[in-house]
Structure 1
Amino acid sequence: MASIVPPALNPAKSSEWFVVGSVVGVHGLRGDLKVRPLTADSDALFSATRLLLVDRTGKELPVVPARVAPHKGIFLVRLRGLDGIDVVEGLVGREVRMRYDDLPELAGDEYYWHQLQGLRVVDRLRGELGRLDDLLATGAHDIYVVNGPFGEVLIPAVGPFVLAVDLDAGLMTVELPEGLVPEADDL
């Protein structure tokens, strides 16, 4: 199960924008931006044909990436027409957005976060667990955060625990390892 891009919205249209990361600094004299992706294994920026940089007030700056390169757990992004450190320093702190229609196709058993967020989660034995609300990125694998009748349940986003995803039905079926939720006789 891959959950590589956590966007801010569920797309009604493929032309909508979602948050892919944030500008955390500048690199070099040519004006590369240091962009930290929202999830560690995200490589969506490589396929972006345009970006939207949004400041804290909501002001948007549409830009076109000229170069994207990985660098020590972040990305270095050079923007077309914005050359030099003096030109880009004011962009630090902005949110980086890209369009859904720029996302590459995934393999059959992989999903983007915007496809999974909000799914109803059902355990094969325990029944309804709640809604998939959040994603925690860890070094080993992602963790799904589900909120429902058992409170907050953290589910490893790996094959042995995630049995099926049915996007049309809005449903994820899981098999929880022991100890993640109280057993009936513990209640």
Structure 2
Amino acid sequence: MKDTRGLDKVWVVLSELAAELVKKDIKVPEIVFEKLRLSKAILTYYILDEHTTVKTLAKAEKELNYAQSYLFSLCDEELMNKYLKKLEKAITGELDVEFPLPKTKFDTDVKRRGNVESIRIKLLKYIEEERAIDLGEWHGVIFEYKDDEKVVIEGDIERVKRALKDFGILLKKSD
């Protein structure tokens, strides 16, 4: 996993703090939850996309700083000290918490390389693998079944487009 400079752990601590404030019936404005959601999305993007730069972390940090300043303004002194200590441990890497990455059913390793395109299709009904492979050979692309519902088509962009059109016809004929 890419180094997020502790921001993933900061997000976990701030999320816990927001949840604790809500449990204590302290009204937390929706903007704080929006900032936490946005920072989680940015951090997830940074972690999963190998092409993102460190500049992306600055955006996440900005959102986290806003949420942090708002959340701490709602705390009493005891709660503030408790979470300041947790936050310090998160930043220094001493806190052992896990950032919740989404579990995707798709192959995250499928990437676009040069003139090679990969697309994923969710099938509404099963089509025999041999028919798809024959269509792939005809168009010079690769049809790869991930399971009974998902197919990845990979190859030259123009060939993938033509294969996809014929694959659509094949889906209609099997009705």
Query: What TM-score comes out, normalization by structure 2 length?
Result: 0.24
Higher strand share: 1
Structure with max Cα Rg: 2
Higher helix share: 2
